[in-house]
Amino acid sequence: MESALGLIGSLLPMILILVVFYFILIRPQKKKDKETQQMRSSVQIGDEITTIGGIIGIIVSLKEDNVVIETAGERNKIRIKRWAIQSNETVHDETEA
C-alpha cells in the first residue's frame, strides 16, 4: 500500500507539469495556427498581404494552392504558395453573415 502511494506521489508532479504545459504552450499555439489557416483561406483578390519572406503585394489571382501578387511600382507579378502568406493587411467587414 505504501509503495502505491509513493508511486502516485512521485508521478503527480510530472502529471501536473504536463497539464500546465498543455494549457500554457500547446493550446494557445494550436489556436494561433487555426486563426492563421483561416486567414490564409479567406484572402481575396485585391487584398494587400505580406509574405513570410517580407514581400508586400496585392493579390491579383487566386488558385487552389497558389496566389499571384503584384508588387511595387513596376507592377511585377510573383507567384507564391498560399502557406507563404504571413499576414493580410486589408481590413474586411466581419459583419457579413
Q: Tens-digit pLDDT profile for the chain (97 aa)?
A: 667 778 888 899 999 999 999 999 999 999 999 999 999 999 999 999 999 999 999 999 999 899 999 998 788 999 999 999 999 998 877 645 4
Residue corresponding to grid cell 519572406: 53
All three cell numbers of 43: 484572402
Q: Coil, strand or helix: which one is 63?
A: coil
Beta-carbon contacts of residue 92 (< 8 Å; ≥ 6 apart): 44
Describe the strand order of the beta sheet including 48-51 as a list of residue ranges.
76-81, 66-71, 56-62, 48-51, 85-88
